Amino acid sequence: MPIFSVQTVDIESYKIDVNNSDQSIFVSTVSSLILKAENPNKVGLSYGASRFHVLSQGLVVGLIRIPQFHQPPLSKNVSVEMRVLFECMNISQIMASADGNIFQIRISGDIRAQVGILNITFPKLKVALDCDLSISHLSFRNQVWIQNNNMISLPLNSKAFSNKCHFGILV
């Protein structure tokens, strides 16, 4: 199985709005996410461009755009930069639904994958991915850096995130 891990999330722009009638906080962001991809297989893997939905409480709150990328055989350090967009996400509602310090989000979508051995490429497969993520919002304390260009960087660690992912091959 290929191995994927999130390295960093950089918030490039954001807008915060407050609804004065119920004190709800709405956030819109454009972020980049660096994904580290490892391929322990002796075959190369290619992925087509794709989009994944980010859901909270069953509602779509964001979109992840994944570019086309390739994992060479036995590769350990392929970096993939993805775009993450959230438009008018109700942070107050998400935090209110959190179980203690932990809130849940779900990432769901599909991507086309293709196996290549030497100069032979096999037919493309459609792989569906569904991940439930638990995020501890208190573990981000003392981990947020504001860089010179006003970009906010959030290093990710195992204390802040846990996930349960399921995937299937669609025919």
What are the phi and psi torsion angles at 66 (to 5°)?
A: -110, 125
Q: How far apart are CA 51 and CA 109, in angstroms?
A: 7
Q: How far apart are CA 61 and CA 53, in angstroms?
A: 8
Q: What is the pLDDT of residue 141?
A: 46
Q: How far apart are CA 4 and CA 163, in angstroms?
A: 12
Q: 82: which 2 tokens? A: 């993805």
C-beta of residue 59 within 8 angstroms of C-beta of residue 108: no
Q: What is the pLDDT of residue 74?
A: 93
Q: How far apart are CA 42 and CA 116, in angstroms?
A: 10
Residue type, 116: G
Whole-model pTM: value is 0.78
Q: What is the pLDDT of residue 139?
A: 47
Strands of 69-117 (E only): list them: 69-71, 75-90, 102-117
Q: pLDDT per position in the chain (171 positions), as tens?
A: 788 887 888 888 989 888 888 888 888 999 998 888 889 989 999 999 999 999 988 889 899 999 999 999 999 889 999 999 998 888 887 777 766 667 788 899 999 999 888 778 888 889 888 888 877 654 444 444 445 454 444 545 545 556 677 778 876
Q: What is the pLDDT of residue 168?
A: 83
Domain boundaries, the chain: 3-170
Q: How far apart are CA 18 and CA 28, in angstroms?
A: 12
b/e 22-55 (16+ beta carbons within 10 angstroms → b) = eeeebbebebebebebbbebeebbbbeebebebb
Q: What is the pLDDT of residue 4?
A: 83
C-beta of residue 144 within 8 angstroms of C-beta of residue 153: yes
DSSP state letter for 123 = P
